[in-house]
Structure 1
Amino acid sequence: MNSGFNLEGRVAIITGGGTGIGRGAALVLAQHGADVVLAARRPEPLESTVKEIQALGRRALAVPTDVTNPQQCQDLVDTTVRELGRLDILVNCAGGAETKGIAKWSEEEWNQVLALNLGSVWFLSRCAAGPMLKQGKGAIVNISSGASLLSMPQAAPYAASKAGVNSLTGSMAASWTRKGVRVNAIAVGAVRAATLVDELERQGIDPESVGTTNASGRLGEPDEIGYGVLFFASDASSFCSGQTLYMHGGPGPAGI
């Protein structure tokens, strides 16, 4: 194994870790030596992914967590350190939202989208930074979205929340990198995950057709994003902090 990507002895928390990109990232990190704590609201997908990670010979723990709740974020970090002894990597992957016109969003829905996609990154990153700063080393990887870089009237609250994630990534990197904790983000394009596929099917859109808008002509796979997470989580990116990497299959005919 290339030593730059070797995560032996490191412990990662991954939110949204039971399905989609979170699951893909968890498996990739485990394959490269990390022990993994998975967090999300639903315990069943977490337990399934835990078994897959344990089959790889790594330690794994499922901690059902509402990442919009600051106390539960702190409890998640405390449980990780207590049960696995340390915390080296945080992957903020929990998120999502439905799509509809700007005028159709209620105040409550706006607040929910921002709490899930942006508030969770704010609260959990600050909790995780505690043990990382104490040990003088750590990596935080925020899963953002291509929506944060585009004008998307059908997903305005989601796009705004993810643009906030990009901004927080830079601010946290500026605060913590000199102390050993790097912070980066990945703005993902259309990836074959239940959150995207289910929403497209609800609108009567063939998910596969969305993939044809990028240069690769297909949807991304969760493990492909997982390898981007591996780069930012590992020493391979030791000179990289405060960056947002756009992983979207390449610019399509419109140059986007």
Structure 2
Amino acid sequence: MSRFDLTGRVAVVTGGGTGIGRGAALVLAEYGADVVLAARRPEPLESTVNEIRALGRRALAVPTDVTDPDRCQDLVDTTLGELGRLDILVNCAGGAETKSLAQWTEEEWHQVVALNLGSVWFLSRCAAKPMLAQGKGAIVNISSGASLLSMPQAAPYAASKAGVNSLTGSMAAAWTRKGVRVNAIAVGAVRAATLVDDLERLGIDPDSVGGTNASGRLGEPDEIGHGVLFFASDASGFCSGQTLYMHGGPGPAGI
């Protein structure tokens, strides 16, 4: 179990106020990490900060627009200034609407790509600098099963997440030899507000979507959080450049 121990390490989790980001942040804190949470809305961040502090860990909320490279650098600088180091980055901020290809505007395309892919590019490069300087670090990118499938109703989102998978491999090839491992998790349907709200808007029962995988249910944010823990900890010390598909197992279609 010592390989999962994160005591003394500092993690930055984007999208950390809700859903998978919150679940990952709490799991990392349970295993000893101090956590900096970043997202646009401060209220959910403060709620999660209080939960982490109740576990006896240090926690900090830093409202951040992760599509802005200057704000990404500010987030890293604040983390170093307040907590003294940066060992783990979890790029979890993301999302998009669901609609047909013809309905997307040019502005919406750019917004989705900036949020899901641009943020990973900008923040990972900022966070890698102190990690490379100390000779050790772990970056975990939250991708999506949409990146591995043909999903016309989520085309810009799927394309941006496919880009995340590619960046994960490229960054791992550049940085692993220098001590910084980079991996991704392509998540399936998880019980997070973004998915549940979108499905309900479309009149789709969220549990019916979960029923299409082998487990017959939606995933829970903390389950993805334990996947993040594996990649963030020394338990995955020989693993870098990988995209793990966590989706409840292949359903009847074998996907």
Please say whether Structure 1 and Structure 2 have the same fold, judged by a TM-score greater than 0.5. yes
- Return the letter of the residue paired with 1:227: H
Quote how far apart the aligned CAs of 1:68 are.
0.3
1:107 aligns to what?
106
- Return the letter of the residue paired with 1:69: D
- 1:144 to 2:140 alignment: no
Quote how far apart the aligned CAs of 1:141 are.
0.0
In 2, the alpha carbon distance for the partners of 1:19 and 1:27 equals 11
For residue 63 of structure 1, give the secondary structure of its aligned residue in structure 2. strand
Quote how far apart the aligned CAs of 1:255 are.
0.4
1:37 aligns to what?
36
Quote how far apart the aligned CAs of 1:72 are.
0.3
Q: Alpha carbon RMSD of aligned pairs, Å?
A: 0.3
- Return the letter of the residue paired with 1:72: R
In 2, the alpha carbon distance for the partners of 1:133 and 1:195 equals 34
Quote how far apart the aligned CAs of 1:246 are.
0.1
1:223 aligns to what?
222
1:234 aligns to what?
233
In 2, the alpha carbon distance for the partners of 1:167 and 1:226 equals 22
2:167 aligns to what?
168
CA deviation string 1:142-198 (max 9, x = no partner) = 000000000000000000000000000000000000000000000000000001001
Quote how far apart the aligned CAs of 1:108 are.
0.2
Quote how far apart the aligned CAs of 1:217 are.
0.1
In 2, the alpha carbon distance for the partners of 1:61 and 1:23 equals 13
In 2, the alpha carbon distance for the partners of 1:244 and 1:152 equals 19
In 2, the alpha carbon distance for the partners of 1:21 and 1:129 equals 22
CA deviation string 1:194-250 (max 9, x = no partner) = 010010001010101000000000000000000000000000000000000000000
In 2, the alpha carbon distance for the partners of 1:13 and 1:57 equals 17
1:69 aligns to what?
68
The runs of 5 or more residues in structure 2 that have no matched partner are none
In 1, the alpha carbon distance for the partners of 2:168 and 2:39 equals 21
Quote how far apart the aligned CAs of 1:41 are.
0.2
For residue 63 of structure 2, give the secondary structure of its aligned residue in structure 1. coil
Output the TM-score relative to the length of structure 1. Answer: 0.99
In 2, the alpha carbon distance for the partners of 1:120 and 1:101 equals 24
In 1, the alpha carbon distance for the partners of 2:92 and 2:131 equals 19
- 1:127 to 2:126 alignment: yes
Output the TM-score relative to the length of structure 2. Answer: 1.00
- 1:208 to 2:207 alignment: yes
1:90 aligns to what?
89
For residue 74 of structure 2, give the secondary structure of its aligned residue in structure 1. helix
> Which of structure 1's runs of 4+ aligned residues deviate more than 4 A?
none
In 2, the alpha carbon distance for the partners of 1:48 and 1:250 equals 32
In 1, the alpha carbon distance for the partners of 2:10 and 2:167 equals 23
CA deviation string 1:6-56 (max 9, x = no partner) = 000000000000000000000000000000000000000000000000000
- 1:22 to 2:58 alignment: no
The runs of 5 or more residues in structure 1 that have no matched partner are none
For residue 24 of structure 2, give the secondary structure of its aligned residue in structure 1. helix
- Return the letter of the residue paired with 2:132: L
For residue 123 of structure 1, give the secondary structure of its aligned residue in structure 2. helix
- Return the letter of the residue paired with 1:27: L
In 1, the alpha carbon distance for the partners of 2:252 and 2:223 equals 22
